[in-house]
């Protein structure tokens, strides 16, 4: 029998994280390991980068020599083409957690590194969300791009892809579903630093979803949303997901604006709301909602 205070062991533990550096290292290792363990998840993340179909290999903290110094990106993804195993596609991975934004100087150094080593792409992952889809949140000099493609994934997109793929493989591959579930559990944990819905006022460059409150509501006890949760991904894809009005207090999709969640205090809607996270591309075709 499970007793109070007893915690289940996790494949990706959140214990022992004492700094943002440790957050970034562990989040990178957890993500890259899951990409190799669950092929369809790895493919869902590498395909938008322009990677070919093939065997995915991942590495963490790979040292590169750059003149008299050494460069140590968070990770490297390599895809060996199925039709031509001797040919491979490679991407550097740069990660940030918490509210810290990516740095232009660091990304430009990695772009130079990628150009010098004939690396195909640079993938960045952080809590920043670009103002325009397809645009990178961190500006870099155009001449640095050259033949190297640069793509950004918010951590919310990583979690959303994991949720969709977990639903898809729940029955045919329960082991893969368990691995994805552990990644989701880790990234949704506050200690991971991978999901952040509030931003300090002195960090305007970090473009994150924020809880908008038009007026204080002393009656409603409103918990801060954390996610995107599995239910939110489903809500983003469904038109009739909630009863109206809801039976219990909680976050529900706003019947006046279906792109956001709004707090229902049990008898009336309040002015507390936040935007639904975007569903990943193709999710409406892949996710079967009950």
Name the nearest CA neighbour of 161 among 41, 1, 17: 41
Q: What is the pLDDT of residues 41-64, one digit of tens each?
A: 999 999 988 899 999 999 999 898
The domains found in the chain, sorted by start residue, are: 20-159 (3.40.1350), 211-290 (no CATH)
pLDDT top residue among 118 and 279: 118
Name the nearest CA neighbour of 75 among 122, 43, 140: 122
Q: What is the pLDDT of residues 198-224, one digit of tens each?
A: 433 333 333 333 333 333 333 334 444
Q: What is the pLDDT of residues 122-181, one digit of tens each?
A: 999 999 988 777 789 999 998 888 889 999 999 988 999 999 999 988 889 999 999 999
The C-alpha angle with vertex 101 and arms to 32 and 279, in degrees rounded to 5, equals 60
Helices marked H in the chain: 20-37, 39-46, 104-116, 155-169, 174-188, 230-235, 283-286
pLDDT (0 to 100) of residue 207:
36
Distance of CA 77 to the CA centre of its chain: 16
């Amino acid at each position: 029998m499970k007793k109070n205070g007893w915690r289940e062991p996790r494949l990706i533990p959140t214990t022992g994280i004492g700094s943002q550096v440790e957050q970034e290292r562990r989040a990178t290792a957890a993500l890259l390991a899951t990409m190799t363990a669950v092929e369809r998840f790895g493919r869902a993340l590498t395909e938008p980068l322009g990677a070919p179909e093939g065997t995915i290999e991942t590495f963490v903290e790979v040292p590169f020599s750059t003149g008299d110094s050494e460069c140590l990106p968070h990770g490297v993804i390599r895809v060996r083409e199925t039709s031509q195993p001797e040919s491979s596609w490679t991407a550097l991975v740069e990660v940030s957690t918490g509210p810290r934004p990516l740095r232009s100087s660091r990304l430009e150094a990695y772009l130079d590194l990628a150009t010098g080593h004939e690396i195909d792409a640079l993938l960045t992952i952080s809590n920043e969300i670009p103002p325009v889809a397809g645009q990178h949140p961190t500006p870099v000099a155009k001449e640095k791009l050259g033949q190297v493609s640069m793509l950004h994934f918010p951590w919310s997109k990583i979690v959303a892809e994991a949720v969709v793929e977990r639903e898809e493989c729940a029955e045919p591959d329960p082991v893969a579903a368990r691995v994805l579930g552990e990644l989701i559990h880790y990234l949704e944990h506050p200690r991971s630093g991978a999901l952040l819905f509030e931003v300090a006022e002195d960090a305007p460059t970090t473009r994150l979803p924020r809880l908008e409150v038009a007026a204080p509501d002393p009656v409603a006890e409103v918990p801060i949303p954390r996610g995107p949760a599995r239910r939110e991904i489903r809500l983003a894809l469904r038109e009739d997901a909630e009863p109206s009005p809801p039976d219990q207090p909680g976050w529900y999709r706003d019947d006046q604006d279906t792109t956001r969640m709004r707090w229902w205090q049990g008898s009336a809607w309040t002015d507390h709301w936040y935007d639904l996270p975007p569903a990943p591309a193709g999710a409406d075709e892949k996710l079967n909602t009950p």
